[in-house]
Structure 1
Amino acid sequence: MHQYRVTKYNPKLRNPDGTYPAEEWTSRADIGNSFGGVCLTREEYLRVEQAYLDTAAAFLSEAGISELTVTGLENHRKYPNAPQEGSHIKAEAAPAVLRSLLREDFWCKLESHAAFIHIGYDYYMYIGMPIESKHP
């Protein structure tokens, strides 16, 4: 399996040990706050969020993944539109689930026998695919 970490963070700003010292937003809740002297606007948040969703869809399409299963569901806030544990999500519906994950409405993993997409802490997205991407 080929694994990828998708982030909005500039790799040129990472320290030699891989840490990222720059002040950055990490959540939709940060809209309206300033980071490095720049205010995070709703428009900028939505632009970045859409880039993540487009990237996930492109990986799924490239790998020919048509369906993922919801695993490890955590819905402590009782978000009404959360999928059910074990439900099958068609690839074309995955961006809607991922949007909710990025917005911290609930948490889960999307997995299949050949692929996975997880949203991690600090706005990281982890993707595993059975093929090496031509566009990492």
Structure 2
Amino acid sequence: MGNHIKYQWRITKYNPNFRNNEGHYTKELEWTSPSHIGKKIYGETFTLEEYLKVETAYIDTIIKFLDVNHIKSLRIINTTYIDVDMDSALYNKLYDKKLDNLHLKDDQEVTIDQIRLIFKMVLRGFIYCHFISSNFFVHFGDEYYMFIGTNNYQEEPLKFAKKNNLFVEEMVSPFYINEENVVRTIIWTPINEDIVAGEEILTDIPIEEYRKIMKLSNTHPVIGVFPITSSNEEFFRKKLSHNIDTNKYQYYLSAGD
């Protein structure tokens, strides 16, 4: 993701002893969402208190990583608010309205004070994003899969995670992409439609140039989908063999592996 991250782990509530040779988790009954609160798992009701204990372990583990790495802020990328049933009892119980005051947007820098709240809202399924700095990341997948990467190996946060009943496994995050493996493409769709009408791969453009033209921070990996706007349209017009026609199509920069 721009910078090479040397040490990476999967840190979860899932005991690897229950994985088969293909790495699939075989324990049949396991809560994977806050929506399971109040339901029976192996005959026992899964309580809010049990959920909060695990959630706190995840969040405190991340904070411990930030502490030992002397990281005071992170940037959020690939940020998406998730549609939820705002009338549900679960929503009223788990949604923290302080999130509304943050007005989060992609590539925003967030402080330690804000980070706890955002982590909580990600784990509860109200928002999706990844967290990055120049030499550190936190990625959340579905069903409480968390991936942490750093270039500063420290035992303390790993021991902390284990002490709080989380399982630490050395593993490269499935969301981690080295810059040399990133493919960036311009795609276009008919206006007001989602069907891709065409695409063209971009080559030989340094990541720093993308960051500058897209007005992104110098830590942003330029991975994801970005609308082409009037402010950067001319830059991409010069890079494409396709003749850009904004009366007919909407254009996007799509970047991934």
TM-score of the aligned structures, taking structure 2 as reference length: 0.50
Could you say which residue in structure 1 is the equivalent of 2:25? 20
Deviations 1:32-79 (A, max 9, x none): 112233321000000000010110100111122221111111114387
Could you say which residue in structure 1 is the equivalent of 2:122? 101
Verify: 1:9 aligned to 2:30, yes or no: no
Q: Is the 8 A contact 1:56 1:95 kept in 2?
A: no
Question: Displacement, 1:27?
Answer: 0.9
Q: How many equivalent residue pairs?
A: 136
Q: Is the 8 A contact 2:12 2:145 kept in 1?
A: yes
Q: Secondary structure at the match of 2:55?
A: helix
Question: Displacement, 1:126?
Answer: 1.0
Give the superposed CA RMSD: 1.8
Q: Is the 8 A contact 1:74 1:107 kept in 2?
A: yes
Q: Is the 8 A contact 1:117 1:125 kept in 2?
A: yes
Q: Secondary structure at the match of 1:64?
A: coil
Q: Using the TM superposition, name which of 22-31 and 78-87 deviates more.
A: 78-87
Aligned mates of 2:42, 2:154 — CA distance in 1: 33
Aligned mates of 1:104, 1:133 — CA distance in 2: 30
TM-score of the aligned structures, taking structure 1 as reference length: 0.90
Aligned mates of 2:144, 2:82 — CA distance in 1: 19
Could you say which residue in structure 2 is the equivalent of 1:117? 138
Q: How does 1:1-136 map to 2 (within 5 A)?
A: 1=5, 2-22=7-27, 23-77=29-83, 80-81=100-101, 83-135=104-156, 136=158
Question: Displacement, 1:88?
Answer: 0.6
How high is the sequence identity, in percent, across the aligned residues?
Answer: 34
- Structure 1 gap segments, 5+ residues each: none
- Structure 2 gap segments, 5+ residues each: 85-98, 159-257
Question: Displacement, 1:102?
Answer: 0.1
